[in-house]
Homo-oligomer: A and B are copies of this chain.
Amino acid sequence: MNIGTAARQSGLPAKTIRYYEDIGLLKADRAANGYRDYSKHDVHRLRFVQRARSLGFSVGECRQLLSLYSDRERASADVKAIAAEKLGQIERKIVELTELHDMLGHLMDNCRGDARPECPIIDGLSGSTSGP
């Protein structure tokens, strides 16, 4: 099948699929006319990548996962290790964003948000009122 069909079936834009081929993540056969030709198996792998990406795996990690996906002998521990690493990253990011959230929320709570110019948010950013 052509790239457009593969795109619809995998949920990835054709541009992205070409990009993945470009970086050597997933290559397709070529038809006689030069068009990329995708099998069902190719589409499965594209969907696999699409899901992994949407779960926050980087393209590099998708590359690893793809090779683990294709390897019927590999231990599930290998996959779990990658997932655990990613889970840790996600947790750290959540903590970081939560701190950010609280800090910004704190500044906002103290800002009246009216027509007057006094603004604790700006003061907080400029550091003028945060000193000891």
Chain A residues engaging chain B, CB cutoff 8 angstroms: 44, 47-48, 51-52, 55-56, 65, 68-69, 72-77, 79-81, 83-84, 86-87, 90-91, 93-94, 97-98, 100-101, 103-105, 107-108, 111-119, 121-122, 124-127
CB-defined A-B contacts under 8 Å, sample of 29:
A44-B126, A48-B125, A48-B126, A48-B127, A51-B126, A56-B100, A74-B117, A75-B116, A75-B117, A76-B111, A76-B112, A76-B115, A76-B117, A76-B121, A77-B114, A79-B111, A80-B108, A80-B121, A83-B104, A83-B107, A83-B108, A90-B97, A90-B100, A90-B101, A91-B101, A93-B97, A94-B97, A94-B101, A97-B97
